[in-house]
Amino acid sequence: MVYRAPSRRKAKKDFVKPNLIPILDAVFIFIFFLLMSANFVKIYEIPSDVPIISDAEPPPNQKPLALTLKISASYIEIQTGVPARTYTRIGKAADGFYDLEKLHSTLIDLKNRNLKEETAIFEPIVDLTYEEIVKIMDATRELRNTDPALFAKDKDGVEMRLKALIPKIIFGNIQS
């Protein structure tokens, strides 16, 4: 018998590259499908500033308002001044919720006397639901159409109508 060399060794074939186009098409279709089937959830956040320490002294003829709202289980205590002293307490209404109308009218009275005040400090003493915090913040921030018009002088000395009651809210004792 005569030894014969294997035919694979004699016939050299060129290496054929695999066609990647169908694989890439499938990957792009899969990515497109995932993007279209994803649920994009809008996340809501409560905008709040961080408490800061200022070295600037208030004008000598004007005492700082230092408006603080201490929120307990049965009432909202409004404190003013440095050191803080109780201005008023606003209890819950007959329906068991905080009396936000009374809070709003009290803050309007305070704003009338301190037109340049823009900051309120929230100090919740109890755990509150998100909805309760937002309702209290709305009563503190927003000026309604039925509220009396408040005017303050801007930097140029021109009287401008205020668009917000107390726009900046700082949380004083965030525990969690």
Q: Are 151 and 160 spatial neighbours (Cβ–Cβ below 8 Å)? A: yes
Has residue 147 been placed in a domain?
yes
Read off the CATH number of the domain in which 110 is found. Answer: 3.30.420
Q: Domain total for the chain?
A: 1
Has residue 155 been placed in a domain?
yes
Has residue 124 been placed in a domain?
yes
What pLDDT does residue 61 have?
67
Has residue 132 been placed in a domain?
yes
- All residues at 6 or more sequence positions from 163 whose CB lies less than 8 Å from its CB, including other chains: 143
Has residue 176 been placed in a domain?
no
Has residue 18 been placed in a domain?
no
| Separation of first and last alpha carbons in the chain | 90
Range of the domain at 126: 67-171
Has residue 38 been placed in a domain?
no
pLDDT in tens, the chain (176 residues): 677 766 666 667 777 888 999 999 999 999 988 888 877 776 766 666 666 666 566 566 667 778 899 998 899 999 988 888 899 999 998 888 999 999 999 999 998 888 888 888 888 888 888 888 889 999 999 888 888 888 888 888 888 888 888 888 888 876 54
Over the Cα atoms of the chain, what is R_g? 33
Has residue 90 been placed in a domain?
yes
Residue in the structure block whose two tokens are 């009563």: 139
What pLDDT does residue 22 have?
92
Q: pTM (2 decimals)?
A: 0.65
